[in-house]
Amino acid sequence: MGGVAVVTDSTSCLLSELAQQHGIHMVPLNIHFGDTVYRDGVDLQPPQFYELLKKGKQLPTTSTPSAGDFLTVYQELAPRAGGIVVVLISAVYSTAVDAAKVAQDMLRESLPETDIEVIDSRTTGGALGLVALEAARTAAGGAGVSEVAARATELIPRVNFIAALDTLFYLARGGRIGTAAAWAGSVLRIKPIIEVSTGSGNTEAVEQARTKRRAVQRLLEITEERVGQAPIHVMVHHAGAPRAGEALRAAVAARFNCVELYLTPFTPVMGAHTGPGTLGISFFQDG
């Protein structure tokens, strides 16, 4: 019997090679363009998605994996794993946690001895990805299901996910706007800065910037306000803006003491809700 397996979903924005390196198993959400359904990051990769979005013929919608999708993963892992820890997108944004728990109950009928823990991360994006990575590292150290789940749960209140958007249109359209709804009717040409609060599990307004350049600068300043010069684990994100993403990654590398630093594109499902041009930073303080 192997060690504990860690499962997350595609909104974690983990690079495929990083997930494979740490043995993290990904369950994709779905993205819909009209009648065509794609599995996030499987059938549709970020460059293709942002090209479709730019064409503007139709706006995409998204949906949650089914209980059957989770059950398939559980059935694959159960015979060789010492248990399964599932860390998923905030239940405010998706019913993935509910689907994963239904699949857990279904598995009990055939494999009642399999120990599964399903965790609502109360976040998404790289913040979710960083929690999944830490869970996988804990599992690799020989920890059991309860220890891996406890480590993930302990880390959740410490992770941050902040982003500078070009527009609130996509968040508002998808109903993920949270407290930033107060800005939705603004006539100002603003660049909203939002975060996903692990307290509420929802989108929270941080502040407004008049230009994209100032918004990016504020992302760096807010990060520094929260962590100072302490060592940090970081993911930098971009939504169809690789050059801007690389520039932000370089700025983070120069400004902070990074234990690990990754540049990742927002997956299609994430990009459908943030819109193109979004830049983000996910991080937590080491220790």
| Segment 116-150, tens digit of pLDDT | 999 999 999 999 999 999 999 999 999 999 999 99
pLDDT of residue 2: 76
Tell me the mean pLDDT in the region 161-181.
Answer: 68
Tell me the mean pLDDT in the region 204-224.
Answer: 93
Mean pLDDT of the chain: 91
pLDDT of residue 280: 97
Cβ neighbours of residue 276 closer than 8 Å, sequence gap 6 or more: 50, 53, 54, 166, 239, 240, 241
Gyration radius of the chain's alpha carbons: 18
Quote the Cα angle for 17-247-280, to 5°. Answer: 65
Range in 68-72, 179-183, 238-242, 244-248 with the lowest mean pLDDT: 179-183
Compare 28 and 174 and report the one with higher pLDDT.
Answer: 28
Range in 11-20, 31-40, 99-108, 240-249 with the lowest mean pLDDT: 31-40
List beta partners, residue 237.
264, 280
What's the residue count for the chain?
287
Q: Terminus-to-terminus CA distance in the chain, angstroms?
A: 31
Tokens standing for 68? 């059957």
Tell me the mean pLDDT in the region 275-279.
Answer: 91
pTM metric for this prediction = 0.93
For residue 208, pLDDT beyond 90: no
Share of the chain above pLDDT 70, in %: 92
Domains in the chain with CATH codes: 5-29+64-156 (3.40.50.10440), 159-285 (3.30.1180.10)
pLDDT band of 241, cuts 50, 70, 90: very high
- Give Cα separations from 223 to 4, 29, 74, 95 (angstroms): 33, 29, 37, 30
